[in-house]
């Protein structure tokens, strides 16, 4: 119980500190440009999750934490959509803007694949690919997966095993980029090639370093052929 109380007291103190900090940070903007975001955090900090006997009602605490994040996600999304703090003008309609761009786009997704037609997209890359396939005239996917189910006519999957390796990975990136661009230039010359990088390691030794190396390979590969 004491640790929960301390955590909530720390959150209250942190909110007060962020509100007066200088120089102003992104956290300051979150708290001060939206009373809704601050209210969600203050409500959680002031909530009572005790059982009345000095112990914590863990079920109630878990429910309050989940409710806080649900409210916070909605509040922060609205804050970003409507803000004029970082941007000179508002984006009026995100959906229509995206779809207009996708109609003239040929997509190449490193680290993604289309989900099994008998199931639904599970991972973020699968959801991205599903969205692109539904709106782009052509989509290329690249991953370690050996796909054994039928693909839509507009999708080409290229299986590559060593994208994270130094020398082999660079060669595989260049092969995919060359293959995709050659096809795009011959069949979709009026379209724009757009590359998506969803490859990422979250655990293991030097995960973040490996992610930077992969990103650099993509940049190097596009630099070779986009001349």
**CA-CA distances (angstroms) from residue 185 to 45, 95, 116, 139?**
57, 28, 29, 14
The pLDDT of residue 23 is above 50? yes
Tokens of 73: 């996600």
> What are the strands of the beta sheet with 138-143, ordered from one edge?
155-159, 138-143, 105-110, 192-197
Q: What is the reported pTM?
A: 0.54
pLDDT tens figures, 111-163: 888 888 777 766 778 888 888 888 888 999 998 888 888 889 999 999 988 87
Q: What is the pLDDT of residue 227?
A: 40
Residue position matching structure tokens 């508002």: 90
For 185-213, how does the pLDDT look when each residue is reduced to its tens digit (9 = 90+)? 899 888 888 888 887 766 667 677 777 77
Work out the average pLDDT over 39-60. 74
């Amino acid at each position: 119980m004491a640790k929960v109380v301390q955590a909530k007291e720390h959150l209250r103190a942190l909110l007060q500190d962020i509100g007066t900090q200088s120089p102003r940070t992104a956290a300051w903007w979150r708290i001060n440009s939206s009373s809704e975001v601050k209210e969600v955090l203050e409500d959680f900090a002031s909530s009572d999750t005790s059982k009345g006997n000095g112990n914590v009602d863990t079920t109630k605490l878990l429910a309050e934490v989940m409710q806080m994040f649900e409210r916070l996600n909605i509040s922060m999304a609205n804050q970003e959509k409507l803000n004029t703090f970082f941007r000179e003008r508002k984006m009026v309609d995100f959906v229509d803007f995206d779809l207009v761009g996708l109609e003239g786009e040929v997509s190449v997704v490193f680290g993604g694949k289309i989900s099994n037609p008998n199931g639904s997209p599970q991972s973020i890359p699968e959801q991205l690919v599903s969205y692109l396939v539904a709106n782009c005239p052509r989509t290329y996917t690249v991953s370690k997966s050996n796909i054994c189910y039928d693909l839509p006519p507009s999708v080409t999957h290229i299986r590559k095993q060593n994208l994270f390796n130094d020398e082999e990975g660079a060669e595989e990136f260049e092969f995919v980029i060359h293959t995709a661009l050659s096809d795009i230039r011959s069949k979709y010359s009026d379209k724009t090639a757009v590359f998506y990088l969803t490859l990422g390691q979250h655990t293991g030794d030097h995960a973040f370093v490996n992610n930077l190396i992969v990103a650099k390979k993509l940049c190097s590969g596009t630099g070779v052929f986009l001349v």
